[in-house]
Amino acid sequence: MITLVTGTTGQVGRRFVPRLLAQARSDERVRVLVRDAARGEPFAGLGAEVVVGDLRDEEALGKAVAGADAVVNVAASFRGVPDDEAWAVNRDAAVALGKAAVSAGVRRFVQVSTGVVYGTGRGRPLTEDDESRPGGEMWGAYPESKAAAERELLALEGGMEVRIGRLPFVYGEGDPHLANSLHWAAHWAPAQRLQMAHHADVGQGLMRLLYAPAVSGPLYNIADDAPVTAVELHQLNGVGVPAGMGGRTDRDPWFGIMSNQKIRRDLGFRPIYPSVWSARDAGAL
């Protein structure tokens, strides 16, 4: 079995690939697509095959998927990039990769998506049965392009199975996201919560999607058990709570909170770090 992974130099990909390689059996190979050969050297040193090329180049995609059995598309352009880049990477390149995979006979395609595609809140934890409702304070080109990619990948014809893992706020193992969270949390109500998942649990969830022989529908939330409050985010970062935070109110206490019950029930997912506090106590931040 050959598994192609894209987005391997980003925060999620660079931590996922070593985990995938560590668990690979003797008959399994991992291939990575990188734009710069030098950035592929650490993965080659761990035993990965390296293909050099751009995700937006059709010829490179053909080389990358040739002979592959599965694809895990981690590549993404996040908030803060120009809108046209977000659409080019998150939708156009993802769909082009999916079409190339179908043409190459790939059997399984795991698309890494985001819980922000749910859009507005529902007054309860978000489940995979909830449709995308554009809007809310986090809406923009990033979730909109990710939602479009999900729809177009699921509509592909050709016998390839598409599975989608929706991630919350990802942290851990030196990822600067935890510190970056204060850019938003400093303006929140004290009890406003952020749904999270440690990189170890993201890796676990994606591998379950990759290897499970059968799933109940293509969509799965990958999240921990205990969202963290704005006050706790400041505590975790070792800074004081901003003046005036105590007077703010949370308009939707369930905004962005994702249920992980489906992946627990269907695929046996159990967070290694059920909360960010357990990760902190384990020295895994």
Q: Is residue 117 in some structural domain?
A: yes
Q: Is residue 29 in some structural domain?
A: yes
User: In which domain, by residue range, is 93 found?
Assistant: 2-168+198-223+258-271
Q: Is residue 85 in some structural domain?
A: yes
Q: How many domains does the chain have?
A: 1
The pLDDT profile of the chain, 285 residues, written as one tens digit per residue, is: 999 999 999 999 999 999 999 999 999 999 999 999 999 999 999 999 999 999 989 999 999 999 999 999 999 998 778 999 999 999 999 999 999 999 999 999 999 999 999 999 899 999 999 999 998 878 999 999 999 999 999 999 998 999 999 999 999 999 999 999 999 999 999 999 999 999 999 999 999 999 999 999 999 999 999 999 999 999 999 999 999 999 999 988 999 999 999 999 999 999 999 999 999 999 999
| pLDDT score recorded for residue 136 | 81
Residues in contact with 132: Cβ distance below 8 Å, sequence separation at least 6, in sequence order: 117, 118, 119, 147
| pLDDT score recorded for residue 207 | 98
Q: Is residue 124 in some structural domain?
A: yes
Q: Is residue 122 in some structural domain?
A: yes
Q: Is residue 186 in some structural domain?
A: no
Phi, psi of 111 (to 5 degrees): -100, 125
Q: What is the pTM of this model?
A: 0.96
Q: Is residue 283 in some structural domain?
A: no
Residues in contact with 235: Cβ distance below 8 Å, sequence separation at least 6, in sequence order: none
Q: How far apart are CA 236 and CA 277, in angstroms?
A: 8
Phi, psi of 247 (to 5 degrees): -90, -5
Q: Is residue 233 in some structural domain?
A: no
**Residue 209, domain CATH:** 3.40.50.720
